[in-house]
Structure 1
Amino acid sequence: MRTTLRLPAEASAVDDTADRARGDGTHEVAPGLAYLRLAIVNVAFIGRHGAGDRDWMLVDAGLPGTRALIERAAARRFGSGSRPAAILLTHGHFDHVGALEGLARHWDVPVIAHRLELPYLDGSAAYPQPDPSVGGGLMSRLSPLLPRRPVNVGSRLIALPQDGSVPMLAGWRWIHTPGHSVGHVSFWREEDQCLLSGDAFVTTRQESLYATAMQKPEMHGPPAYFTVDWQEAGASVRRLAQLGPDLVVSGHGRAMRGPHMQAALRHLAAEFELWSTPEHGRYVTTPATVLGGTAYIRK
């Protein structure tokens, strides 16, 4: 496995000067779309700056301990006391749902996810064990220590509708992109070709703590230590590359846009096994099915 498809600095979609002037702590990368970096992971805000109560959405919910940071950024961006219409989830790994229970309770909002992801969000199932043998850096080696226990927002859960629409969010649709997790989804806005890819592919080498901290512009497959079906993961990257996105906000790394990003994504999709699939690992040839009595439900 090769691991790095480097991108030039001009592929970054972030305008630091404009972000500082706006002062809400987020990176605004398209009309009505911004994201907040929380150490190793991103959360996204869909909604224009200054949108009122229930007129915006949060996508994913960060690491444990980041609730106050998310609430502060939301208050600065949308106004004090402004709550989202819902929290959308790309998937339920610990770094995407760390503040979910507290935020959902505080804002009194529904949580929307793919139906196959619901067992990991209603307290009934733990994810398959991570795979430190994939290599790539400290994050991989530490992966057995990362939380796998499910959160429980079962009373608030809504399954994404099968027609691809996103409830309460006109202009966006969801795309099933399994592999990293069975119910992983990405979000797509056709009007301006904006893609929230979640962890289907990312723009930093998430297996390496150093690379994650530095966030040099790169194109990578999903974080390898948590990916449990590499055949599906490759198919998902190819599905997203076919969209030809102009802007990508991934779950990890800086937002990227333009022809350099598009070329790297096409390259990753065309040669996924070369650039992303590990040379060895517990799920490389055999996807997760049943581990420790917990079912991993194949679509």
Structure 2
Amino acid sequence: MDNPMKDTRMPMTSVRSGEGTEVLKDLYAYTVKIVNVVYAGSPERPGDGWVLMDAGLPGSAEELIGEAEARFGPGARPQAILLTHGHFDHAGAVVELAQHWQVPVYAHEAELPFVTGRSRYPDADPGVEGGLLAKIAGWFPNEPVNLEGHVHPLPADGTVPGLPGWRWIHTPGHTPGHVSFFRDADRALVAGDAFVNVRQDKLYQVLTQMEQLSGPPRYFTPDWPSAGESVRKLAALQPRTAVTGHGEPLAGEAFTAGLAELAAQFERVAVPDYGRYVDGKR
């Protein structure tokens, strides 16, 4: 395994960095600077096991291991690491975590080239309509991690390794193999970057974590038609709670209605007016 980003340190943070939120008794969202990772499993029943969803920014492995032990006890080790996708802020520490815990990693089959060192994601678009973070997106890491031999495709039947009762849903657009995770029993959703709860291209909003239900980060989304279909797919599930890759967790009727509105108005409110991956495709 190899992580070309391992020595990269991102000079950005937010007011929520280092904070955790117990969304449900068995769903805990922890913020690493600007991105959320999820610990799924009950600390009251550690024998049932738990999984880590996404793997934070480069250099965050020790922080995520420490948070795992604070929640599940000394030496806590997940049954698996699940990736919604492989961008630098969601897979930044995955190699180090997989090596430390010696556990398998799972991702969608279409995401495997980007987490086995075979393919790079499309370049960020610093010219896309958006704020300051969009303008500097060309400086963000885009080298693929290499989990060859240690990453596996998610089961074709939609089940989620280590999480009975959950299913994965293919939600492409932000990346080809982006997935979200959903539990039908209580309509809990881990959305990754299919949609987010803060405008990720706006520096002030990211720093303050100003809540705004939004489409995926503009500067790293190359397929807007698929992104819109993915949001509509998730809205049709009428989730009651959600953890997104960026921003505070969401819950309640206002969230469900807001997601339905985002889905209905996606092309108008989420798709940028211009950009490398937009021009000529609206």
Amino acid at match of 1:37: T
**3-state SS of 1:102 partner:** helix
Paired residue secondary structure (2:127): helix
Letter aligned with residue 182 of structure 2: W
Greater helix percent: which structure?
1
2-structure distance, mates of 1:96, 1:286: 30
Amino acid corresponding to residue 264 of structure 1 in structure 2: G
Deviation at 1:286, TM superposition (A): 6.4
Q: Which residue of 1 aligns with 2:217?
A: 223
TM-aligned CA deviation for residue 101 of structure 1: 0.6
Match of 2:93 among 77, 92, 99: 99
Q: Distance in 2 between matches of 1:272 and 1:130?
A: 21
**Contact 1:50/1:79 (CA < 8 Å) preserved in 2?**
no
Q: Are 2:50 and 1:56 equivalent residues in the alignment?
A: yes
Decide which moves more: 174-183 or 62-71: 62-71
1:168 Cα deviation after fit: 2.3
Deviation of 1:118 after TM superposition, in Å, equals 0.4
Instruction: Quote the offset at 1:26 in angstroms.
Output: 2.2
Mapping 1:1-299, distance limit 5 Å? 26-52=20-46, 55-285=49-279
State how far apart, in whole Å, the 2-side matches of 1:285 and 1:114 are: 28
Shift in Å, 1:53? 6.8
**Alpha-carbon distance in 1 for matches of 2:44, 2:87:** 30
Which protein has greater RCO, CA pairs closer than 8 Å, 6+ apart? 1
Partners of 2:195 and 2:213 within 8 A in 1: yes
1:111-168: CA deviation from partner (whole Å, max 9, x where unpaired): 0000000011111111111111223212101110111110011121110112111122
* SS in structure 2 at match of 1:269: helix
Q: Quickly say closer, same or farther: Cα 1:125–1:28, change in 2 above 3 A.
A: same
Q: Distance in 2 between matches of 1:246 and 1:254?
A: 14
Check conservation: 1:140, 1:225, Cα contact below 8 A. Answer: yes
1:31 Cα deviation from its structure 2 partner: 2.3
* Letter in structure 2 aligned against 1:123: G
Instruction: Pick closer, same or farther for the CA change 1:72–1:54 going to 2, 3 Å.
Output: farther
Q: State the one-letter code of the partner of 2:145.
A: V
Q: TM-score, normalised by structure 2?
A: 0.91
Measure the CA separation in 2 of the matches of 1:54 and 1:137. 44
**Which segments of structure 1 move beyond 3 Å, counting only runs of 4 or more?**
50-54
The C-alpha deviation readout for 1:164-204, integer Å capped at 9, x for no partner, is: 11122101000000000000000001111100010000000
* SS of the residue 1:96 aligns to: coil
C-alpha separation in 2, matches of 1:205 and 1:82: 34
AA aligned to 2:74 is S
User: Could you tell me how far 1:217 is from its partner in structure 2?
Assistant: 2.0
Aligned length: 265
Matched residue type, 2:259: L
**TM-score after normalising by structure 1:** 0.86
Q: Deviations over 1:8-67 (max 9, x none)?
A: xxxxxxxx9xxxxxxx95210112000101111000000112543781100000001111
Is this contact kept in 2: 1:54–1:82, CA < 8 A?
A: no
Counterpart of 1:164, as a letter, is G
